[in-house]
Amino acid sequence: MRIPPGLPLALALALVLVAAAAAQQRIGEVSTTFRLIGPNDKIVVERFDDPKVENVSCYLSRAETGGMSGLVGLAEDPARFSIACRATGRPRIAGPIDRSDDGEIVFDQRTSALFKELRVSRFLDAQKRVLVYLVWSTKTLSTDGSPFNSVTAVPLD
């Protein structure tokens, strides 16, 4: 039996997407604006687990644009969000983490079809033994991101 040339790449991509989906879970949503055609605008609450710190989960609320553009995936979601990270057990750093002032991006998600991403960066405050998580937005083909952000902290001890 001959394996098609693109099959291994397709399977690898599928595994990456399944792993990413497992790391993020939608917890709930509320409608904020009624749309006659297409889904309503919503505020969604999602959870993602820090991939390098065991027992730390972050809960993110964000706006999601509905309507026809939202239905077909062409809407640009507003860059307004909130984050709360919590220890769901004793936090344990399970892999090497970035200790620089620039931090490390631990989660990102597209918020428009082409240009915009929501990101969560992790910083280590070694002096106080605290992990700090910052949610922010960027436009990938533009020089200006969004000043809207939110921050939360999880003690390591």
10 part of a folded domain: no
Q: How many angstroms separate the Cα of 6 from the Cα of each of 3, 97, 108, 145?
A: 8, 34, 27, 36
6 part of a folded domain: no
What's residue 54's pLDDT?
A: 97
pLDDT band for position 113 (cuts 50, 70, 90)? low
53 part of a folded domain: yes
CA distance 21 to 11: 15
99 part of a folded domain: yes
Greater confidence, 128 or 112? 128
Average model confidence (pLDDT) across the chain: 80
Residue span of the structural domain in which 58 resides:
26-155
75 part of a folded domain: yes
52 part of a folded domain: yes
CA distance 20 to 12: 12
Q: How many domains does the chain have?
A: 1
pLDDT in tens, 62-110: 888 787 776 766 676 667 889 999 999 999 999 899 999 999 999 987 6
Q: What is the pTM of this model?
A: 0.75
Q: Which residues contact 34 (CB under 8 A, 6 or more apart)?
A: 40
pLDDT band for position 36 (cuts 50, 70, 90)? confident
Q: How many angstroms separate the Cα of 83 from the Cα of each of 14, 47, 61, 73, 77?
A: 28, 10, 6, 24, 16
